[in-house]
Amino acid sequence: MVTYSEFLSEATKFMRASEIRELLKLTETRKIISFAGGLPDPQTFPIKHLKKIAKEVIEKNGAKALQYSPTKGVTCYREELAKFLSRNRGLKVDIEEIVVTTGSQQALDIIARTLINPNDIVIVEAPTYLAALNAFRIQRPNFIGIPIDDNGMKVDVLEDILKKLRSEGKKVKFLYTVPIAQNPSGVTLSPDRKKRLLELAEEYDFLVVEDDVYGLLVFDASVDTTPLKVIDKTGRVIYVGSFSKILSPGMRLGHIVAPKELADVFERCKQALDLHTPTLTQYIAAEALRKGIIEENLPRIRELYRSKRDVMVEAIAENFPENVWYTKPIGGMFVWVKLNMNIDTKELLPKAVERGVAYVPGKAFYHDMSGIDTMRLNFSYPSPKEIREGIKILGNLIKEVAKSSQ
Ligand code: PMP
Ligand code: G9A
């Protein structure tokens, strides 16, 4: 008998199972209304276009598209990506500042590996994207969480913490933020706070990792969606993007945009991880970008998600107890709920699943596993009918449990 645990590295102790991925196994095998994983609605995939492009790419460019390719990414794809980011996010970048990653999840892993030493201070929103916490955690940072409100991270609280850290002789390595339509809460950082955040980064000398995966999924045209990287004048922002939410997550196309000196370090790190992101998907995406397919599709995706958000928010207002607090996101894929009662949403989950509904308990989105009475509800994947049904089931369950615990 081999005792495998004796052979495992120290690092494995810090590898947490992702609640989202574990729930995905459950929702894939059971007939259930899933408000759990942040899956795009498959209706948004431009299947017809991609079928045609994939065929053309293999026929005309097969020798290159099926070959190994550079670690930073296929040149023609990075060129198209740079143009796309300029047109849609106002970013002016040289292709040497771009590292194409295997999903933006890999970007977070690369950033963790190249920037974090054990015990370094990493600041995150509380709550924040749980798989970012899991990627960072393996490098053993000390997390500090900053609370959020309807205008995103509370920058005044951040400032107080930075002052205190400085008085203790401590420095922050980087701050990770999802400024627009945040995962999990759906809130968006206000323009004043963006400006102040960058001033603080300068004053206290830390880097900012901007995760912009929902930056183009905003339904309310009046909201300012300027990336921090566009406002940044001093090169402190490392920008992370992805085509998972606006093209296809299965293609696994993410990217980091950073000053060349850093991009070169990220490239070295990626060489050891997977040599490069699949060449074929980069060729297909380059052609999709050239043909303007994503831009053509975006208004339709936004409208679809806006209408699903409306259905969810209305259903919550109708079916959940009155003192529950929930966000009304201007974009993205999630509504965040705080029950404001003595209910542990992790304990509630098996009961919800028994009744045919899944969600992600909020705890895992907190660096310190607080937020016991919170939950994240995805509205992009379920149909409007399922949203109405599922929220009703969940609302009734919450009311029952609240009553029985009184
Ligand atoms: N960042 C955030 C904030 C996300 O929500 C996600 C996916 N849910 C990712 C990164 C990773 O996405 P991908 O690897 O598919 O680009
Ligand atoms: O399937 C995944 O793990 C990606 C989704 C992320 C999320 O639900 O936040």
Q: Domain spans of the chain?
A: 4-46+298-404, 61-294
Nearest to 330 by CA among 84, 153, 72, 150: 150
Distance 137 CA to ligand 1 centre (A): 16
User: 75 to each of 64, 271, 283, how far by Cα in Å?
Assistant: 12, 16, 10
- What is the reported pTM? 0.97
Nearest to 375 by CA among 404, 346, 350: 346
Rg over CA atoms, the chain? 21
- pLDDT recorded at residue 126: 97
From the CB of residue 372, how many other CB atoms can be counted at a distance below 10 Å? 16
Atom in ligand 1 nearest the alpha carbon of residue 249: 15
Q: What is the Cα–Cα distance from 179 to 89, expressed in whole angstroms? A: 13
Which residues are bridge partners to 33 per DSSP? 357
Shortest-distance ligand to the CA of residue 211: 1
Distance 246 CA to ligand 1 centre (A): 12
Q: What is the Cα–Cα distance from 8 to 106, expressed in whole angstroms? A: 22
Pocket of ligand 1 (CB under 6 A): 38, 103-105, 129, 178, 183, 211, 213, 242, 244, 249, 254
- pLDDT recorded at residue 179: 98
Candidates 16, 20, 129: which one to mutate for ligand 2, based on the most atoms within 8 Å of Cβ? 20
Atom in ligand 1 nearest the alpha carbon of residue 103: 14
Give helix 260-274 / helix 103-115 axis angle, nearest 10°.
110
Candidates 19, 104, 210: which one to mutate for ligand 1, based on the most atoms within 8 Å of Cβ? 104
- pLDDT recorded at residue 30: 79
In the CATH scheme, what is the code of domain 4-46+298-404? 3.90.1150.10
Atom in ligand 1 nearest the alpha carbon of residue 178: 3
Instruction: Indicate which residue's Cα is closest to atom 9 of ligand 2.
Output: 38
Distance 130 CA to ligand 2 centre (A): 9
- Identify the CATH class of 61-294: alpha beta
- pLDDT recorded at residue 110: 98
Pocket of ligand 2 (CB under 6 A): 20-21, 24, 37-38, 183
Per the listing, tokens 């404001």 go with 340
Distance 68 CA to ligand 2 centre (A): 28
Distance 349 CA to ligand 2 centre (A): 18
Distance 20 CA to ligand 2 centre (A): 6
Nearest to 100 by CA among 129, 121, 76: 76
Amino acid at 75: T
Distance 112 CA to ligand 1 centre (A): 15
Q: Which two tokens stand for residue 198?
A: 């960058």
User: 342 to each of 326, 347, 363, 366, how far by Cα in Å?
Assistant: 16, 11, 14, 18
**CA trace torsion 303, 49, 286, 41 (10° rounding):** 40
Instruction: Indicate which residue's Cα is closest to atom 8 of ligand 1.
Output: 38
Distance 19 CA to ligand 2 centre (A): 9
Nearest to 210 by CA among 244, 182, 170: 182
Shortest-distance ligand to the CA of residue 38: 2
Give helix 130-137 / helix 19-29 axis angle, nearest 10°.
130
Distance 363 CA to ligand 2 centre (A): 15
pLDDT in tens, the chain (406 residues): 999 999 999 999 999 888 888 888 887 877 899 999 999 999 999 999 999 999 999 999 999 999 999 999 999 999 999 999 999 999 999 999 999 999 999 999 999 999 999 999 999 999 999 999 999 999 999 999 999 999 999 999 999 999 999 999 999 999 999 999 999 999 999 999 999 999 999 999 999 999 999 999 999 989 999 999 999 999 999 999 999 999 999 999 999 999 999 999 999 999 999 999 999 999 999 999 999 999 999 999 999 999 999 999 999 999 999 999 999 999 999 999 999 999 999 999 999 999 999 999 999 999 999 999 999 999 999 999 999 999 999 999 999 999 887 7
Candidates 24, 183, 217, 333: which one to mutate for ligand 1, based on the most atoms within 8 Å of Cβ? 183
Q: What is the Cα–Cα distance from 44 to 47, expressed in whole angstroms? A: 9
Q: What is the Cα–Cα distance from 257 to 81, expressed in whole angstroms? A: 11
φ, ψ at 39 (rounded to 5°): -85, 135
